Structure 1
Amino acid sequence: MAWLMLIAAGLFEVAMAYSLKHSNGFSVLLPSIAFIVFAVLSFGLLALALKTLEVGTAYAVWTGIGAVGTAALGMILLGESVSLLKLLSVALILAGVVGLNLAGGGH
């Protein structure tokens, strides 16, 4: 259950970043409100997951989902540039998160 909460927290982090982009520096009301809601959900679920999971691994997974998801969203929906270096960097983030889990820190 903690892993599901952590994954959801990471996905809410992606939504938080997307909302922040569209808030235009908190000058647009609805995306600004969405940012606050997604931030509370993301941090709240992370806090609940940390009752069971190790902080180092959980935080790495949470930020990894956020970083990879936000980068992908930016490239797919926001027209941000796509390059081999960006894709390789995303793959390295994923490899690091998987490596931490394989090292036993997530159990």
Structure 2
Amino acid sequence: MSWILLVIAGLFEVGWAIGLKYTDGFTKPLPTVLTVGAMVASVGLLGLAMKELPVGTAYAVWTGIGTVGTVLLGVWLLGDSASPMRLACVGLIMLGIAGLKLTA
């Protein structure tokens, strides 16, 4: 169950990271409320997952999910660069996440 909570926490992290772009510096009320809500949910679920998972593994997986998801959504939604080198680096992050999961 802790791994499921951790994955959901990582997805909320993607939500708030992308949401920051849409808040326009916290000047738009609805995106701001949704972004702050995603922040609270993300950190809260991370904390629950850490009750059973090693802190280093949980934090690295959480930030890894957030990083990979944010990069991919940035490419898809915001027109960020999808250069081969950038995507290769995302692949390395994914390998690191898988390695941490397999060794936990």
What range describes the TM-score normalised by the shorter chain of this pair? Answer: over 0.9
Where structure 1 has 5 or more consecutive residues not aligned to the other structure, the ranges are none
Report sequence identity in percent: 53
Alignment correspondent of 1:25: 25
Q: Could you tell me which residue of structure 1 aligns to residue 8 of structure 2?
A: 8
- Report deviation, 1:101: 2.3
- Residue 85 of structure 1: how far off its partner (Å): 0.9
Q: Aligned residue for 1:70? A: 70
Return the offset for 1:54.
0.4
Q: How does 1:1-107 map to 2 (within 5 A)?
A: 1-102=1-102, 104=103, 106=104
The C-alpha deviation readout for 1:70-96, integer Å capped at 9, x for no partner, is 000000111111101110010010111
Equivalent pairs, count = 104
The structure with the largest helix share of the pair is 2
Q: Could you tell me which amino acid in structure 2 is paired with residue 11 of structure 1? A: L
C-alpha deviations, 1:4-46, integer Å up to 9, x for none?
0000000000000111110011111111111110000000000
CA distance in 2, matches of 1:53, 1:100: 11
Counterpart Cα distance in 1 of 2:29 and 2:19:
10
Q: What TM-score does the superposition give when structure 2 sets the normalisation length?
A: 0.96
Displaced runs of 4+ in structure 1, greater than 4 A? Answer: none
| CA RMSD in angstroms, aligned pairs only | 0.8
- Unaligned stretches of 5+ in structure 2? none
- Scaled by the length of structure 1, the TM-score of the pair is 0.94
